Amino acid sequence: MYEHLVVFKFNSSYQPQQEQQLVQTLLGLRDQIPGIIGLTAGVNVTEETGNIHGYTLGLRVTFSDQEALRAYGPHPAHQHFVAMLEGIIESVVVVDYPVQG
């Protein structure tokens, strides 16, 4: 299995009412892309201060294997989500790693 972690930071063009549409689109990927065995997404509600650096949306996807992870990026459903970010995204952090144990 592989984990795919992503956090998003939006620019000033971003409207907070877009959050639920983005979250729902991300959650929909679970049923559209083969090899996803778990997916969660949501708006950052941390109470920690000083460490979030403006990142307000998070995504965690568990893939069955590395091949499924590689097929995710170019998949049309994922590309649709990427297109939704055009003009509103400032920064994205991505971490992919094999699950140990």
**Lowest-pLDDT choice from 33-42, 46-55, 66-75:** 46-55
Average pLDDT over residues 43-67: 87
Of all residues in the chain, what percent carry a pLDDT higher than 90?
Answer: 75
Structural domain harbouring 90: 2-98
Integer CA distances (angstroms), 99 to 5, 31, 34, 61, 88, in order: 12, 22, 18, 12, 32
What pLDDT is recorded for position 44? 87
- Give the position of tokens 């996807």: 61
Indicate the number of domains in the chain.
Answer: 1
pLDDT of 15 over the 90 cut: no
What CATH number should be reported for the domain holding residue 44?
A: 3.30.70.100
75 SS3 class: coil
Q: Show Cβ contacts of residue 33 under 8 Å, excluding neighbours closer than 6 positions.
A: 68, 71, 72, 75, 77, 78
